[in-house]
Amino acid sequence: MADFSSNSSPHHKSNKDLVQSRQKHNSYLSNLTCSTTISSNTLPVINPKLTRDNHRFWKSQILFAVGAHDLEDHLTRLISCPTPFIRVQSAGPTFEVVKKPNPEFHLWKKTDKLLVSWLLSSISESIFSLFWSFSFEE
């Protein structure tokens, strides 16, 4: 996910805050299923769109909307993308370790793509070209 966090305001979380944030995110992910992820219908339309002159106002709208969905840590990258695969011990007689798809990875990527799409839709056409060449993680 693109990093939209601000480097201008120092906001450092303690290890305890990071652990709580990770637990909150894991709880959030465990309550999601593919059919109940956040949809584009639940995220508000941001108006006015981002221009060269309204970044502060636009950012406050974005952060409040993201906060309403408990996705601040996702947006600011305090919660990183889970690994695509997890190692689990098989239940067979050999108890070998096998790689399986990580369900948290799928949900994280789906949420990430929705957030990027939503953010891009909140940018005015006049400055969209500034973001066009920006590198977003796939």
CA distance 89 to 33: 24
Q: Which among 124, 135, 107 has a CA at the least distance from the CA of 49? A: 124
Mean pLDDT of 32-60: 78
Find the helix or strand (DSSP H, E) in which 129 lies.
Answer: helix 125-132
Measured from the Cβ of residue 119, the count of other Cβ atoms closer than 10 Å reads: 20
Per-residue DSSP letter, 137: -
3-state DSSP call for residue 104?
helix
CA distance 20 to 25: 9
Is a pLDDT exceeding 80 seen at residue 78?
A: yes
> Which of the residue ranges 4-8, 48-52, 99-103 would you say has the lowest mean pLDDT?
4-8
* Count of residues making up the chain: 138
Is a pLDDT exceeding 50 seen at residue 11?
A: no
Q: Which among 112, 121, 123 has a CA at the least distance from the CA of 3? A: 112
Per-residue DSSP letter, 35: G
What percentage of the chain has pLDDT greater than the value 70? 66
CA distance 49 to 57: 10
Is a pLDDT exceeding 70 seen at residue 133?
A: no
